[in-house]
Structures are given as C-alpha cells and as structure tokens.
C-alpha cells in the first residue's frame, strides 16, 4: 500500500521552457523510507517542492500527485495549506530558512499548531516541550523564546523534527536535512529522523547526495540524473548490484572516500619517546 504516489511529474521553467524534471513516477509505500539521490541540479529538491506545491512562481509542473485518497495536483493553495504540516511535512536543509527571522521560534510553532489543531498556547507549549525533550533539546522554553539566529543549525533541525512529532503527518519529506550541519550534528539529526519515523509510523521521502546517510535510513532508492530517474531499487540492490553506470559511479566514489578515510585513521601508529 502506498500513501504517496507521483505519476509522470514534469517540472519546467516557464520563462525559458527548459525541462527540469522529465516525467518522474514513483510510489512511497506506507511506513517505508524512499531516498532520492543524485548530484546537485539533478532535480531532487525540485521534486520535493513540487509535491509540497512550493516551487517558485516561474516554475511550472504537471502530472498527478496523490496523498492517500487526495489528488494534490487538483487542490487550491488554500486547501494545500491545510495539508502542509498536518499530513505532509517538510524538513528543509537549512533550518534558518524554515523560521521567520523577525519572530521567536515559539511564534512559528504556535501559529502552525493553532492552525491545524486549534490548541491553546498552554497546550502547545506543553506538547512542544515534551517533543523537544524527546529529541534532546535542553530547556525547551528557552529554545521557544529564542530567535532563529540564536540557535545552531543542529538545534533548528531538532525543533523541526520535534514539530513533526507533534503534528504526526502521514509523510515526512526530508530535503538534504544534514547538508548545512557539522559531522556530529549530521549524525544526531539522522538518528532523530530514524526515531521520528519509528515513533509516529510515518512514511519518509529522504533526499540526499550522501550515500552513507542514505544507506542508514532508506528501504528503497531512486537515482536521479539531469532531471530523470535513471535507476531504482532496494537499498541492498543499489549498493551491491547497481546496473546504471551513473549509479555505479556514485557508489564507487563513496567507497573510495570511505577507504581513504580508513587509511587516514588507521595509518601507522606514531610512537612518542
């Protein structure tokens, strides 16, 4: 059973006519994690924003996007606003862009949760406080009373994950969620996303160019190149028996980097006298 189905999605630039996504079709199965991988400019983020209905004004799209029983491609902007967050939640790569820089973080959280649930401020503070504690954010009240620029990228990612925990959407789209983070924060963010999926039973569309992270989280993988899906398969098949030359190049590059790192870390021991 799939709870997100994309059929013949095409995305193009209205001004130039250039095709950016060339008729993608895929299904996200209930409770599973589907990763989209590829180099920068391959169409990964455009695909995510097309699903959310958030591409810029000059970008056009066609095709069918179904979320359960809903055909998202036929919904008005007002109807999509009711879907975003509550049933379809997106965690972006740069947490700073997800929040209004002129307001404390708590204002964003309160507006979002009041819109979808009609909860009072006290209920929102209590539920967000519990969710923030569960993703290891210390002093949730201080976080909610901080401006985005006062929090690190890793903390902002955790706030977005905590919000998703409270919203309990059907599908979480994580678009390059570790790109703007340092190595330790990357590891922590990925673990929190894995736990998010386990706690609320959501499906996840995970977009990344980092195959190490993808191998940790994904059940199935789509490989995109120049706006086109060139290969798809289970995580095991992609990493052990890739068929397309481009996929084999991505996997071999990742393996080469890993081996180089091992050599650096496991070189000759230096003995000090």
Q: What are the b/e assignments for 252-261, b being 16+ CB within 10 Å?
A: eebeeeeeee
Instruction: Judge if 109 and 52 occupy the same domain.
Output: no
Instruction: Judge if 124 and 257 occupy the same domain.
Output: no
DSSP H helices in the chain: 44-52, 77-83, 105-117, 121-134, 140-144, 153-167, 183-200, 211-217, 235-241, 245-265
The answer as to whether 48 is a domain residue is: yes
Instruction: Judge if 61 and 107 occupy the same domain.
Output: no
257 or 200, greater pLDDT: 200
pLDDT value at position 255? 58
The answer as to whether 80 is a domain residue is: no
Mean of all residue pLDDT scores within the chain:
89
Range of the domain at 107: 92-169
What distance in Å separates the CA atoms of residue 33 and residue 217, rounded to the nearest whole number?
7
What distance in Å separates the CA atoms of residue 15 and residue 152, rounded to the nearest whole number?
37
Instruction: Judge if 153 and 207 occupy the same domain.
Output: no
Digit-coded pLDDT (tens) for 82-134: 999 899 999 988 878 889 999 999 999 999 999 999 999 999 999 999 999 99
Q: Could you tell me which of 59, 54, 61, 63 has the C-alpha nearest to residue 25?
A: 63
Contact call for residues 31 and 203 (beta carbons, < 8 A): yes
The answer as to whether 84 is a domain residue is: no
The answer as to whether 75 is a domain residue is: no
Last residue of one domain, picked from the residues 118, 153, 169? 169
The answer as to whether 86 is a domain residue is: no
User: What percentage of the chain exceeds 90 in pLDDT?
Assistant: 72
The answer as to whether 272 is a domain residue is: no
Digit-coded pLDDT (tens) for 233-269: 999 999 999 999 999 988 887 655 555 444 555 654 4
Instruction: Judge if 58 and 116 occupy the same domain.
Output: no
Instruction: Judge if 10 and 143 occupy the same domain.
Output: no
Last residue of one domain, picked from the residues 169, 202, 221? 169
Instruction: Tell me the CATH number at 256.
Output: 3.40.50.300
Instruction: Judge if 96 and 163 occupy the same domain.
Output: yes
The answer as to whether 182 is a domain residue is: no
Q: Which residues pair with 65 in a beta bridge?
A: 6
Contact call for residues 173 and 49 (beta carbons, < 8 A): no
The answer as to whether 188 is a domain residue is: no
**Total structural domains within the chain:** 2
């Amino acid at each position: 059973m799939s709870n997100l189905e994309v059929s013949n999605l095409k995305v193009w630039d209205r001004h130039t006519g250039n095709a950016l996504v060339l008729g993608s079709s895929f299904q996200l199965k209930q409770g599973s994690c589907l990763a989209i991988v590829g180099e920068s400019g391959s169409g990964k983020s455009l695909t995510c924003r097309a699903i959310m209905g958030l591409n810029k004004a000059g970008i056009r799209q066609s095709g069918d996007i179904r979320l359960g029983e809903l055909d998202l491609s036929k919904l008005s902007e007002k109807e999509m606003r009711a879907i975003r967050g509550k049933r379809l939640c997106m965690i972006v790569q740069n947490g700073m862009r997800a929040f209004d820089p002129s307001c404390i973080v708590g204002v964003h959280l309160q507006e979002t949760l009041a819109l979808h649930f009609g909860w009072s401020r006290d209920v929102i503070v209590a539920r967000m406080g519990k969710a923030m504690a569960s993703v290891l954010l210390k002093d949730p009240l201080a976080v909610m009373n901080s401006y985005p620029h006062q929090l690190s990228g890793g903390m902002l990612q955790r706030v977005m994950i905590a919000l998703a925990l409270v919203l309990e959407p059907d599908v979480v789209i994580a678009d390059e969620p570790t790109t703007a983070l340092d190595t330790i924060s990357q590891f922590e963010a990925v673990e929190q996303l894995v736990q998010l999926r386990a706690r609320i039973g959501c499906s996840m569309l995970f977009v990344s160019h980092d195959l190490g992270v993808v191998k940790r989280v994904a059940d199935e993988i789509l490989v995109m190149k120049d706006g086109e899906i060139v290969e798809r398969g289970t995580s095991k098949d992609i990493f052990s028996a890739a068929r397309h030359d481009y996929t084999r190049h991505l996997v071999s590059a990742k393996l080469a980097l890993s081996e180089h790192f091992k050599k650096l870390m496991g070189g000759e021991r230096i003995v000090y006298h």
